[in-house]
Amino acid sequence: MKIEQLVDCQTILGEGPLWDVQQQRIYWIDSFGNKVYRATVEGREVETWDVPEKIGSMALRKDGSGAVVALRTGFFLLDFATGELEAIGDPEADIETTRMNDGKVDRHGRFLVGSMDMQESAPNGALYRLDPDFSWSKLESGIMVSNGPCWSPDGRTFYFTDTWSEDIWAYDYDLDQGTISNRRTFCSTKGQDGVPDGSTVDAEGCLWNAQVYGGEIVRYAPDGRVDRRIEMPVKKVTSVMFGGPDLDILFATSMAKPPLPHLPEDGPLGGSLFAIRGLGVTGLPEPRFAA
């Protein structure tokens, strides 16, 4: 196994690595730097798009024209050719203390995105499903910091976390309706240095989670047992996704500055995009938003 600094991008709050199998490019975001990044698998040809406010997550669109992005004030379409944004709507327009955060696309092309309390101190966030017709539904509420949405290989188990609960949950997922039920604790990080942040699932059905502030990436077996731990060169590792031509490289984002003053600092590697090779594991292609 080899961990390398792929791009020295110094993202304030790097998040959301997203490998696109069609373009063979890695995307990621700087949530506090208000940017979308794209690069080759070698970390070259780095491109950026600016957005006007904090960005929580993104999903590539089926038609290839751009992405749907979850910004502080709701859902928008980002045109890669022009850099222009088109507003879809804001599920929390009446709440001033929250912003949209982590999100992923299900097997039917729907974008599931959670929101978070910006002070990370109250359960004011929720989980939403944005459908291809640009309507949305609330799936869960009472969330402080939404993170880590992803699915089992068959798409019928949905994983999700409220970071400061220190638990990762599993739900039954109805692929036809796009609904969740039967929430249970999949695994817990209580008593450890890190708390759960972004996740992905590999082809064997194991969940990989970035444990932010603890500097580890942890692989969990489908029954929730710890299978493997990877110690990262930074404490504030934020999210992970498999990519590369063979889907065998684990990309990991990190943050250069902690969002709250009591959280740990990192050295000059903080905010980098990392690539981890030689794991002997492959991931799954990430679906596109079906609009």
Question: Which residues are annotated as part of the binding site for substrate?
Answer: 99, 101
Q: Hey, is 164 helix, strand or coil? A: helix
- The Cα–Cα gap between 288 and 19 comes to 11
User: Taking a C-beta distance cutoff of 8 angstroms, is the pair 123, 78 a contact?
Assistant: no
**Known binding residues:** 15, 99, 101, 147, 197
Q: How buried is 86 (Cβ within 10 angstroms: 0-12 exposed, 13-18 middle, 19+ buried)?
A: exposed
User: Taking a C-beta distance cutoff of 8 angstroms, is the pair 290, 209 a contact?
Assistant: no
∠ Cα 150 8 65 (to 5°): 50
Residue in 167, 197, 248, 266 annotated catalytic: 197
- The Cα–Cα gap between 154 and 183 comes to 18
How crowded is residue 190: how many other Cβ atoms within 10 Å of its Cβ? 9
Q: Hey, is 136 helix, strand or coil? A: strand
**Known binding residues for a divalent metal cation:** 15, 147, 197
**Is 248 labeled as catalytic in the residue annotation?**
no
* Token duo for residue 201: 């699932």
List active site positions.
197
